[in-house]
Amino acid sequence: MSLRERLQAALKEAMKAKEAERLSTLRLINAAIKDREIASRGEGTEMEVGDPEILAIMGKMVKQRQESVRAYEEGGRLELAEKEMNEIKVIEEFLPRQLTADEVEAAIKAAIGEVGASGIRDMGRVMAVLKGKYTGQMDFGAVGPKVKDLLA
């Protein structure tokens, strides 16, 4: 079952169970996917968004909500922070398990070996391999500096 089918099934279940918050979050995910499809049509590439793209969209959504939680907590708006945290939980149900720090480091070393990277100029190739294999399983913003350190 594809990720899109799982999302649709969860949407139907949330409707039947009258889970308003969950339903709202699932609709936001679907809207983001549709936006991406519309954007790809505008670029002239008529393609359906696949699982890797959906994982990237949902990863971005989680990051946005984490930033919102921090902002709401700093502003003393705990009820809004809690709402964002609930949305994060719903989104994360569909994301693969996040890799531990040790697993991330092992994956980076394996990718460096796979592309035969010898210096910082090979960082893009290493990151491309990691993104191809581990989309949704690691934070690439945090991985970049680690790759850079290992290649330096």
Q: What is the pLDDT along the chain (152 residues), one digit of tens a residue?
A: 788 899 999 999 999 999 999 999 999 999 999 998 888 887 766 667 788 888 888 888 988 999 999 999 999 999 999 999 999 999 988 888 888 888 888 888 888 888 888 888 888 888 888 888 887 788 788 888 888 888 88
Phi/psi zone of residue 50: left (φ > 0), alpha (ψ -120 to 50 degrees), beta? beta
Cα gap 137→135, rounded to integer Å: 6
Domains and CATH numbers, the chain: 3-92 (1.10.1510.10), 101-151 (1.10.10.410)
Whole-model pTM: value is 0.73
Cα gap 144→113, rounded to integer Å: 16
